[in-house]
Chain A
Amino acid sequence: MSRIPEKEIQTDILVIGGGIAGLTAAITAKEKVPEIDVLVVDKATASAGWAGKAPRTAGHLTFVTPEDNPEDFVRYVVYNIGCFLNDQILLREYAYATRYLIEQVNSWGVNILRRPDGKIQYNKIGPFPWGTTLADLDMCARLASYAGKINIKFIDKVFITDLLKKDEQVVGAVGFSLLDGIFYVFKSVATILACGDQNYGLMPLWNGNGSGILAAYKAGAEMRNAEFGNYGGGFLNADIPQSGDWLVTGQDFLYNAVGEYLTPKYRPGPRPDSDPESYLAWYREVLSGNGPIYVDVLTSTLDNQRKFFFAPPGARPLADKFWKNLIMKTISVRKDPSAKLIRVVHAFQGELSCVKVDQNYSTTVPGLFAVGDISFSGSALYGAVPSPPGRIKGSGLMHAIFSGVKGGSAAAIYAKALKVTGVKPEINYSQVKELKEKIFEPLNLEKGIPPTEIIYRVQEVIYPLDYSIIKREDRLKEALEKTLAIYEELDRIKAKDYHELTKCIFAKSMVTCAEMFYRASLMRRESRGFHYREDYPERDDKNWLKWIIIKKEDERMRLYTEPVPIEKYPYKP
Chain B
Amino acid sequence: MHSIRIDPAKCTSCQMCVKVCWEDVIRWDEGAGKPIAMYPEDCVVCGLCEVLCPAGAIEVIPDWQSKRWPRELSRAPNAATIIPS
Q: Which residues of A contact B (CB under 8 A)?
A: 43-45, 48, 50-52, 55-56, 157, 178-179, 202, 204-205, 207, 238-244, 257, 283, 286-289, 291-293, 318, 321-322, 325-326, 329, 333, 343, 345-346, 456, 459-460, 463-467, 475, 478, 499, 502
18 additional contacts (CB under 8 A) given A44-B21, A257-B81: A45-B18, A45-B22, A202-B70, A239-B84, A241-B84, A243-B64, A286-B79, A289-B81, A325-B47, A329-B60, A345-B82, A345-B83, A456-B70, A466-B74, A466-B75, A467-B75, A499-B38, A499-B39
Within 8 Å of chain A (Cβ to Cβ): is B55? Answer: no
Q: What are 17 A-B contacts with C-beta separation under 8 Å?
A: A48-B20, A50-B48, A55-B22, A56-B46, A239-B84, A240-B84, A242-B69, A244-B45, A286-B74, A286-B76, A287-B76, A287-B79, A289-B78, A343-B82, A345-B82, A463-B70, A465-B73
What is the bound-complex CA distance between A529 and B75, given in angstroms? 23
Residues of A near B18 (CB, < 8 A) are: 45
CB pair A475–B51 under 8 Å, yes or no, is no
- Residue pairs across A and B with CB atoms within 8 Å: the count is 121
Q: Which residues of B contact A (CB under 8 A)?
A: 18-24, 27, 38-39, 42, 44-48, 50-52, 60, 62, 64-65, 67-76, 78-79, 81-84
Q: Chain B's nearest CB lies how many Å from the CB of A260?
A: 16
CB pair A283–B22 under 8 Å, yes or no, is no
CB pair A243–B74 under 8 Å, yes or no, is no
In order of increasing CB-CB distance, the 3 nearest A-B pairs are: A204-B44, A463-B70, A44-B22
Residues of B near A291 (CB, < 8 A) are: 78-79, 81-82
- Contact A345/B73 with A56-B46, A243-B64, A321-B51 known, Cβ cut-off 8 Å: yes
What is the bound-complex CA distance between A241 and B44, given in angstroms? 13
- Contact A45/B19 with A292-B82, A321-B51 known, Cβ cut-off 8 Å: yes
Cβ 8 A contact of B73, one of A45, A205, A289, A346: A346
Q: Chain A's nearest CB lies how many Å from the CB of B23?
A: 8
CB pair A205–B75 under 8 Å, yes or no, is no
CB pair A460–B72 under 8 Å, yes or no, is yes
Residues of A near B19 (CB, < 8 A) are: 45, 48, 50
CB pair A286–B44 under 8 Å, yes or no, is no
Residues of B near A465 (CB, < 8 A) are: 73-74
Residues of A near B23 (CB, < 8 A) are: 207
CB pair A292–B76 under 8 Å, yes or no, is no
